[in-house]
Chains A and B, each alone.
Chain A
Amino acid sequence: MTAIPVTVLTGYLGAGKTTLLNRILSEPHGKRYAVIVNEFGEIGIDNDLVVGADEEVFEMNNGCICCTVRGDLIRIIGGLIKRKGDLDGILIETTGLADPAPVAQTFFVDPDVAERTRLDGVVTVVDSRHVTQRLEDSHEALEQVAFADVILLNKTDLVDAGELASVEARLRSLNPFARIVRTERCAAPLDAVLGIGGFDLKRVLEMEPDFLTEADHEHDQSVTSVSLREERPLDPVRFDRWFRTLIQTRGTDLLRYKGILAFAGASRPTVVQGVHMLADSGNTLSWREGQSRASRFVLIGRDLDGEALAADFAACAAS
Chain B
Amino acid sequence: MSPVPERRWETGAWVVGLAVNRAGTHAAAALGDGSVRLLDLADPDGGPRASQVHAGACLTIVPDLDDRGFLTGGDDGRLCRIVPGSSGDAAAEPLAEVKGRWIEHVDAEPQAGLRAFAAGRQVTLLDRAGRPACDPLDHPSTVGGLAFAPKGKRLAVAHYGGVSLWWTKAPDVPTRLDWKGSHLGVIWHPAGTHVMTAMQEAELHGWRLKDKAHMRMSGYAAKVRSFAWAARGRWLATAGAEEVVCWPFFGGGPWDKAPLELPGPGSAVITAVAPHPMDPVLAAGRDDGMIFVAPLDGSAPLPLAGRGGSAVSALAWTANGRSLLAGTEDGRLSWITPAR
Contact = CB atoms under 8 A, between A and B. Distances in A.
Interface of A: 1, 40-41, 49, 51-52, 54, 56, 58-63, 69, 71-72, 74-76, 79, 81-84, 110-112
B200 A83 contact: no
Given A71-B142, A82-B16, A82-B57, A60 B32 contact: no
A58 B32 contact: no
B contact patch SS: loop
Interface string B164-194: 0000000000000001111000000000000
Interface in B191-229: 199-201, 222-223
B123 interface: no
Contacts, number: 74
A84 B141 contact: no
Nearest to A39: B100
Interface string B28-65: 00001100000000000000000000001101000000
A82 B181 contact: no
B222 A58 contact: no
Contact of B160 (A40, A58, A76, A84): A58
A81 B200 CA distance: 18
Contact of B182 (A40, A58, A62): A58
Contacts of A54: 120-121, 141-142
A82 B14 contact: yes
A34 to B, nearest CB: 10
A95 to B, nearest CB: 16
Given A79-B75, A111-B222, A60 B101 contact: no
Contacts of A83: 14, 32-33, 56-57, 75
Nearest 4 CB-CB pairs, A to B? A61-B181, A40-B100, A82-B32, A84-B33
B160 A71 contact: yes
Nearest to B99: A40
B88 interface: no
A229 B179 CA distance: 46
B13 interface: yes
B100 A71 contact: no
Contacts of B242: none
B200 A71 contact: yes
Interface string B106-132: 000000000000001100000000000
Contacts of B32: 82-84
B57 to A, nearest CB: 5
B53 to A, nearest CB: 14
A116 B330 CA distance: 14
Interface of B: 12-14, 16, 32-33, 56-57, 59, 75, 99-102, 104, 120-121, 141-142, 144, 160, 179-182, 199-201, 222-223, 310, 329
Contacts of B59: 79, 82
Given A71-B142, A75-B104, A79-B57, 10 more contacts: A51-B75, A54-B120, A56-B160, A60-B200, A61-B199, A75-B142, A81-B14, A82-B32, A84-B33, A112-B223
Contacts of A56: 141-142, 160
A59 B200 contact: no
Contact of B181 (A1, A41, A60, A76): A60
Contacts of B33: 83-84
A84 B142 contact: no
A141 to B, nearest CB: 27
Contact of B201 (A40, A41, A49, A60): A60
A278 to B, nearest CB: 15
B181 A58 contact: yes
Nearest to A76: B102
Nearest to A61: B181
A73 to B, nearest CB: 11
Contacts of B180: 59, 61, 63
Contacts of B200: 58, 60-61, 69, 71, 74, 110
B225 to A, nearest CB: 9
Contacts of A75: 104, 142, 144
Contacts of A72: 142
B101 A52 contact: yes
Nearest to A82: B32
Nearest to B225: A112
15 contacts: A40-B99, A54-B120, A54-B121, A54-B142, A58-B160, A58-B181, A58-B200, A71-B141, A75-B104, A75-B142, A76-B102, A79-B104, A84-B13, A111-B223, A112-B223
Nearest to A40: B100
Contacts of B223: 111-112
A122 B256 CA distance: 47
Nearest to B202: A111
A84 to B, nearest CB: 4
B205 to A, nearest CB: 8
B12 A84 contact: yes
A145 to B, nearest CB: 30
A82 B56 CA distance: 10
Nearest to A63: B180
A52 B99 CA distance: 10
Contacts of B179: 61
Contacts of A61: 179-181, 199-201
Contacts of A81: 14
Contacts of B160: 56, 58, 71
A192 B329 CA distance: 34
A108 B201 CA distance: 13
A40 B32 CA distance: 22
A127 to B, nearest CB: 29
A79 B141 contact: no
A111 B33 CA distance: 24
